[in-house]
């Protein structure tokens, strides 16, 4: 390292000299002015010395700055180490529990969290296998994230599932960013795959009859609920007797999917065929859930219940997976499932010329902008839409039976009369006359 780069003056006879040392080597030089004459005065000697030693002083300053910077980096690393000892960084194994406990995470339902848990656990297992030396959550770099995304992109997942998987990891890293001391989110810049939405296909009336008439026990009623209410599987499986009004022939249910952000119940008229099915259940067995065994299966083993329904469809000769999938290691894409009953319900209602707003009010559209269009849909219009659905279960009375039609009319008339007040009597009278007519 350089030393004494400022030099010092000494005089020999009448002339001034400067001496300096670098790395133990001593140098000296006689000082001369711009004309080459020896310098003999102290003032001129000081100016000449400063001019001569200036480059060495700059180099010495740069070296000093480098030394300071190195010390600062070392001190910073030491502070980080001490901070990690006092407050250890989140590990990948701890990350999911920290995410669940974070007040910053989205208010997600338990079923969706179950899917998120599975997806994050898959990533954690991959990290443990491929990068066992990377223990801390902040050790996940962009290169590691891209490598993991590549493993998902080898045909194992559909574009939709692939995108959802990356979105879950992006969300977890975003929520834990400060607590895990992250400097960035390695998942944000990974491109998502182009996804073309393909919904479940609807079933024909003949397929509905085949599926429903070959079902027994609670599965038969579960399918009946799906066909005649358009509710999702979770809402059908966990339907409570407190939400069923057999006398007024209506189901009042807050859909699980929208319960957190929009806890508004949907009112679904009970089709005469479905009403007869529900009446078959003895009164003494009408406790909490309409389908107690199905509710337990759904709450504990949802995927198993999904598989049970798909197996039933397959036994009835219905292909449940899209052609060309599930072969040569390609992931099977479900084409027909319980959700197909919801699509079929909407399609049959529309085929019976039910207004779109009426159908949306029954199925509980999740779009708030669309909700405003069906806020004032009455029970009468909804009841007509559901009553027009065909009977697909052979051992129950069909919808066109005169007695059932008359009973439904009386129930509607009674419901309208009971809801009549001094303010709405004109509107209710018009509805009542329409029903009786």
pLDDT tens digits, the chain, 437 residues: what are they? 344 556 788 888 889 998 888 777 888 888 988 888 899 899 998 888 888 877 776 666 666 567 667 767 766 666 556 555 555 778 999 999 999 999 999 888 787 888 899 999 999 999 999 999 999 998 999 999 999 999 987 756 778 888 999 999 999 999 999 888 888 999 998 998 876 656 678 888 888 889 998 999 999 999 999 988 889 999 999 999 999 999 888 999 998 887 777 788 888 889 888 999 999 999 999 999 999 999 999 998 888 999 999 999 999 999 888 777 665 556 677 788 899 888 888 888 877 766 666 677 677 655 544 434 333 445 556 666 677 677 777 544 443 444 445 556 666 676 677 677 777 777 777 777 776 76
Do the domain assignments include residue 234?
yes
How far the first Cα of the chain sits from its last, in Å, is 107
H helix and E strand count, the chain? 17, 6
Same-domain check for residues 341 and 363: yes
| Residue 263 confidence (pLDDT) | 83
Determine, yes or no, domain membership for 184.
no
Tell me how far the alpha carbon of residue 163 is from its chain's centroid. Answer: 10
Residue 190 inside a domain? The answer is: no
Residue 186: inside a domain? no
- pLDDT of the residue at 356: 67
| In a shared domain, residues 27 and 106 | no
Residues 361 and 425 in one domain: no
- pLDDT at position 404 is 47
Q: What is this structure's pTM?
A: 0.56
Long-range contacts (CB closer than 8 Å, 24 or more residues apart) made by 201-205: 201/335, 201/336, 201/340, 201/343, 202/340, 202/343, 202/344, 202/347, 203/318, 203/336, 203/340, 203/341, 203/344, 205/348, 205/390, 205/392
Residue 296 lies in a domain: yes
- Any idea what the CATH number is for the domain that residue 224 is in? 1.10.443.10
**At which of 39, 62, 86 does a domain end?**
86
- Residue 218 located in a structural domain: yes
Is residue 224, in this structure, part of any structural domain at all?
yes
Domain that holds residue 96: 92-175
Domain end call among 175, 193, 222: 175
Q: 244 and 104, same structural domain? A: no
Q: Are residues 382 and 422 in the same domain?
A: no
pLDDT of residue 391: 74
Residues with Cβ within 8 Å of residue 173, at least 6 apart in sequence: 137, 140, 180, 182, 185, 186, 187
255 and 328 belong to one structural domain: yes
Residue 227 is assigned to a structural domain of this protein = yes
pLDDT at residue 286, as a whole number: 93
Q: Same domain for 154 and 49?
A: no
According to the model, what pLDDT value does residue 370 have?
42
Q: What angle do CA 264, 375, 381 make, to 5 degrees?
A: 110
Indicate whether 209 and 330 sit together in one domain: yes
Closest to 182 (Cα-Cα) out of 191, 172, 197: 172
Instruction: Give the Cβ contact number of residue 273 at 10 Å.
Output: 25
The verdict on 300 and 418 lying in the same domain is no
Burial of 338 (0-12, 13-18, 19+ CB in 10 A): buried
**Residues 242 and 331 reside in one and the same domain:** yes
CB neighbours (10 Å) of residue 172? Answer: 24
* Domain count across the chain: 4
Same domain for 38 and 15, yes or no, is yes
Tokens 């405003």, residue? Answer: 372
DSSP 287: S
Residues 266 and 385 placed together within one structural domain of the fold: yes
**pLDDT the model gives residue 242:** 95
- Contact in structure between 96 and 117 (CB atoms under 8 Å): yes
**Rounded Cα gap, residues 82 and 76, in angstroms:** 10
Last residue of a domain, one of 35, 61, 86: 86
């Amino acid at each position: 390292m350089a030393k004494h780069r400022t030099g010092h003056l000494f005089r020999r006879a009448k002339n001034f000299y400067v001496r300096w040392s670098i790395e133990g080597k001593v140098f000296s030089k006689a000082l001369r002015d711009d004309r080459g004459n020896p310098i003999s005065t102290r003032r001129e000697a000081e100016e000449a010395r400063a001019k001569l030693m200036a480059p060495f002083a700059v180099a010495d300053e740069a070296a000093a700055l480098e030394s300071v910077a190195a010390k600062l980096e070392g001190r910073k690393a030491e502070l980080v180490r001490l901070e990690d000892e006092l407050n250890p960084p989140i590990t990948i194994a701890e990350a999911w529990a920290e995410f669940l406990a974070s007040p910053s995470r989205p208010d997600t339902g338990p079923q969706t969290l179950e899917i998120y848990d599975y997806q994050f656990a898959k990533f954690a297992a991959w990290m443990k296998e491929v990068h066992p030396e990377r223990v801390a959550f902040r050790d996940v770099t962009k290169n590691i994230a891209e490598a993991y995304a590549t493993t998902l992109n080898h045909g194992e997942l559909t574009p939709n599932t692939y995108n959802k998987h990356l979105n879950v990891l992006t969300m977890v890293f975003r929520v834990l960013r400060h607590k895990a001391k992250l400097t960035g989110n390695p998942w944000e810049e990974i491109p998502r795959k182009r996804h073309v939405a393909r919904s479940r296909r609807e079933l024909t009336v003949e397929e509905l009859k085949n599926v429903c008439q070959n079902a027994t026990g609670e599965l038969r009623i579960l399918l009946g609920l799906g066909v005649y209410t358009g509710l999702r599987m979770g809402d059908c499986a966990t339907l409570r007797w407190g939400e069923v009004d057999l006398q007024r022939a209506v189901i009042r249910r807050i859909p699980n999917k929208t319960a957190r952000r929009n806890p508004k119940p949907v009112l679904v008229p009970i089709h005469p065929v479905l009403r007869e099915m529900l009446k078959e259940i003895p009164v003494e067995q009408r406790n909490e859930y309409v389908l107690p065994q199905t509710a337990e299966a759904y709450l504990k083993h949802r995927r198993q219940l999904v598989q049970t329904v798909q197996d039933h469809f397959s036994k009835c000769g219905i292909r449940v997976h899209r052609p060309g999938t599930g072969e040569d290691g390609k992931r099977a894409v479900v084409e027909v499932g319980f959700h197909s009953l919801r699509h079929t319900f909407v399609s049959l209602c529309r085929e019976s010329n039910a207004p779109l707003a009426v159908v949306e009010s029954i199925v509980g559209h999740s779009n708030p902008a669309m909700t405003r269009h069906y806020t004032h849909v009455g029970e009468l219009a909804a009841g007509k839409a559901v009553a027009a659905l065909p009977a697909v279960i052979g051992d129950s009375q069909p919808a066109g039976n005169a007695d059932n039609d008359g009973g439904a009319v009386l129930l509607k008339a009674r419901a309208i009369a009971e809801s009549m007040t001094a303010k709405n009597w004109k509107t209710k009278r018009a509805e009542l006359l329409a029903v009786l007519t």
